[in-house]
A and B are shown apart, each in its own frame.
Chain A
Amino acid sequence: MNEKNIFCYVMVAPALAITIVLGVYPMIDTMLISFQSYDLLTLQNEGTRWIGLDNYREILANEKFLQTISQTVIFTVLAVGISVAMGLFLAQIVNAEFRGRSVLRTIILSPWFVPPVVASAIWLWLLETNTSPINSILLDAGLIERKIRFLTDSDTIGPFSIPMLSIVAVRCWNGLPIIIIFLLAGLQSIPKSLYEAAEMDGGGVWAKFRYVTLPMLQPVLMVLFALLFLGGFGHFEMNYIMTGGGPRNLTNVLAVWTYQEGFQFLRYGKAAAAGGIVLVMCSIISVFYLWAQSKDNRS
């Protein structure tokens, strides 16, 4: 091992140690717990018996848990899809040169300064049926006849419900700035000459976006999608604070289910098994991302 290699290992070591202690070890420990009968109330008398896949069998036989998995996927796909689409649009705008661009950038980025817990509390107030100022404005303007039950309406259209869409909207509002920052950085790294060449070839706005912007943003988009999907599958705050998973389990997601199973019902084994399902889902995304990246490198 040469000196340069040693230096690299030394520099990486602290980060690696932190990752192992705070990330890898708890993950492995949680997976071990998911194969045990880890019940806080019986722990003192019965210990933690090894029960194989029983926790997984039990939670996967629970209809509400299966609904929760599908809600998690719907929530993540919607939140990621809408956020990235809006991010692409807004990043293009704030990337353009015009008067007041700095002000617009500040306004667009401002939700980023609001922590998700605070954002949840603010939007909970804004969307609570009886006290919602949004409802008041819409009613006064004559745009609606009845208050919209943003967080409590249990009617559904297919897999979609108003509460779920409301939380997705809040998530997008809160998460959009970081997406814009990512995309803006990507946009600014695209050489202007490519756009000029496209223009000379007679390409319009759509053609420049389709044949220049999108391909050049592909690496950034790949990282972004991977991060957002991973974050989406583990998302907790907004769903827990705003609806607790209700009404009728329509906004429940895996992280909320896991929290309730562990901290409210004291069944850590089943909570860990639910965490295992999240891990599998995240692993699929990671494997897909790594495969896409290696394919990209090969090409």
Chain B
Amino acid sequence: MEKLKLTTAVLTLSASFLTTAPAGAESIEFWTQTYGDQIKWTAAIKELTEAYEAETGVKVNHEIVPWSSSRKTWLAVAQGGAAPDCADMWWLHSFSAIGGDKFGPMPINDFKSKFPVEDFYEGALQDSTWRGDFYGVPWRGDIRAQLYRTDIAAEAGVTQAPENWDEVIDAAKKMTKRGDNGEVETWGYSFGSAAKVVDWLMPLYWQAGGEFMTDDGKTATIDNDAMRKALTFMHDMVNVHKVADPDAFEKGYKARPAFVAGKVAMIGSAEQAWGNRLETENPEMDGKWSFARSAAGPANRASFSGAGYLGVLRGSEKVEQCVDWLAYLSKDDNMLKLSQAAGTVATKPAVMATDFWSDRPYKVVVAEALEDAHTSQHPAPSWSAISTSEPGGILYDMIYSVVIEQEDMDEAISSAQDLMQDQLDR
């Protein structure tokens, strides 16, 4: 009797495996980071995956990679760790170089015709292309623009957002408030919205007419007047005009609480996703803030822009299914859903032309700011290491030594140029 029971159990289990096996073959693993509100993001992906499953019968198993560990996760994946079939990635160049032709991001040139590449912003496509290979769908933009407190501006007699660096200095001086003991109560200016010091330098350097490297990603090009102008601007805002907080260059700095509390009046390069966050998380701020296009530097008004892309991972046995899934996501309606859930600008003009991206003044501004977009990705595998905003990072150390330690600028730039070239030669 016992033997019969055991046999029945084994057969039942086997049968269940057999019935689930085909479903397993028709499923793909898909990882993303979280954007905006985690619940909304998860719900949006669930809606998309369910609709896709209903349409194709392919199940998409979605997993979230927390931002706090995503870099380490992708580093591991790029070296041969357990990888999903397809995923939301960034730092395409570093991860591709690390993985070589064995692991990490996988070029999908053969499937390029399945994607409406002509419908994307050209700049966004750069973020999913490396060495001429096409890696996937750029799906989120990260455009930055000026953000300022309209109430503090009005109080200080500043009637509109600064149009150029001189006006930035003027407005920041007017909006900086000091207490009786000389302590600053409100800083007129903050370079960026998080302590990512290198991200702050990038738009200023571009605005001054500089580029970090040659188009082929092999030669460092930072020892020039544009870099001197950008660093002089940063240095002077902190040390000469004293309108920017030197503490902002340290790790624990958080601009958002300071902006909300009225301790920072203007942010030169703020993430556009803040518009969504300020609306939903800080309704008390309604009517007290506004976005504006970046102020122009001596050469242009370039704005920091990045993008994440959805791509396939080497080692996946379900490349075609993944490509179909990504092609499905790249449809305008689905791109809009992703954009709505994430609060990030879309990578297709058609999506940016929808009502969703014009129903608030700040959205109109960030859509306009896309015209100033300059990608933060550069065609060199070591760029992720060069641009790291950590002590020891080449650009970070250069900025820190000039702005905070007030050391010789020419020497700092020259040294950074040499170190950066060493990295590009890696």
Interface residues of A (CB under 8 A from B): 39-45, 64, 124, 127-131, 145-147, 149, 151-152, 154, 241-249, 252, 257, 260-261, 263-266
Chain B residue, CB-CB nearest to A154: B404
Q: Is the CB–CB distance between B385 and A265 below 8 Å?
A: yes
Q: How far is the CB of B273 from chain A (nearest CB, A)?
A: 21
**Apart from A124-B252, A127-B252, A145-B181, 4 more pairs, CB < 8 Å:** A40-B78, A129-B247, A131-B261, A247-B404
Q: Is the CB–CB distance between A130 and B251 below 8 Å?
A: no
- What B residues does A249 contact at CB under 8 A? 391
Q: Is the CB–CB distance between B391 and A242 below 8 Å?
A: no
Contact partner, A242, options B251, B393, B405, Cβ 8 Å: B251
Contact partner, A149, options B99, B247, B391, B392, Cβ 8 Å: B247
CB-CB contacts below 8 Å: B309-345 with A:
none
Q: List 20 A-B contacts (CB under 8 A).
A: A41-B98, A41-B382, A43-B79, A44-B100, A44-B101, A124-B252, A130-B247, A130-B263, A146-B183, A154-B404, A242-B251, A244-B250, A245-B391, A246-B251, A263-B75, A264-B390, A264-B393, A266-B382, A266-B384, A266-B385
- What A residues does B283 contact at CB under 8 A? none
- Interface status of B132 (Cβ within 8 A of chain A): no
* Contact A131 to B258, CB < 8 A, known contacts A145-B181, A266-B385: yes
- What B residues does A44 contact at CB under 8 A? 97-102
Q: Is the CB–CB distance between B252 and A151 below 8 Å?
A: yes
* Interface bracket on B: 35 or more
Cα(A160)–Cα(B183), bound, Å: 25
Q: How far is the CB of B38 from chain A (nearest CB, A)?
A: 18
- What A residues does B253 contact at CB under 8 A? 128
Q: Is the CB–CB distance between B385 and A264 below 8 Å?
A: yes
Cα(A131)–Cα(B426), bound, Å: 42
Cα(A231)–Cα(B128), bound, Å: 43
- Interface status of B245 (Cβ within 8 A of chain A): yes
Cα(A243)–Cα(B253), bound, Å: 9
In terms of DSSP, what is the predominant structure of the interface of chain B?
loop
Lowest 7 CB-CB distances: which A-B pairs, in order? Answer: A44-B100, A244-B251, A152-B247, A264-B388, A265-B385, A152-B250, A40-B98
Q: Is the CB–CB distance between B405 and A243 below 8 Å?
A: no
Chain A residue, CB-CB nearest to B405: A248
CB-CB contacts below 8 Å: B356-413 with A:
381-382, 384-385, 388, 390-393, 404-405
Chain B residue, CB-CB nearest to A147: B183
Q: Is the CB–CB distance between A128 and B252 below 8 Å?
A: yes
Q: How far is the CB of A140 from chain B (nearest CB, A)?
A: 13
- Interface status of B288 (Cβ within 8 A of chain A): no
Interface string of B207-245 (1 = CB under 8 A from A): 000000000000000000000000000000000000001
Q: Is the CB–CB distance between A130 and B258 below 8 Å?
A: yes
Q: Is the CB–CB distance between A41 and B245 below 8 Å?
A: no
- Interface status of B40 (Cβ within 8 A of chain A): no
B247, B249, B392, most chain A CB atoms within 10 A:
B392
- What B residues does A245 contact at CB under 8 A? 251, 390-391
Cα(A261)–Cα(B392), bound, Å: 8
- Interface status of B257 (Cβ within 8 A of chain A): yes
- Interface status of B174 (Cβ within 8 A of chain A): no
- What B residues does A129 contact at CB under 8 A? 247
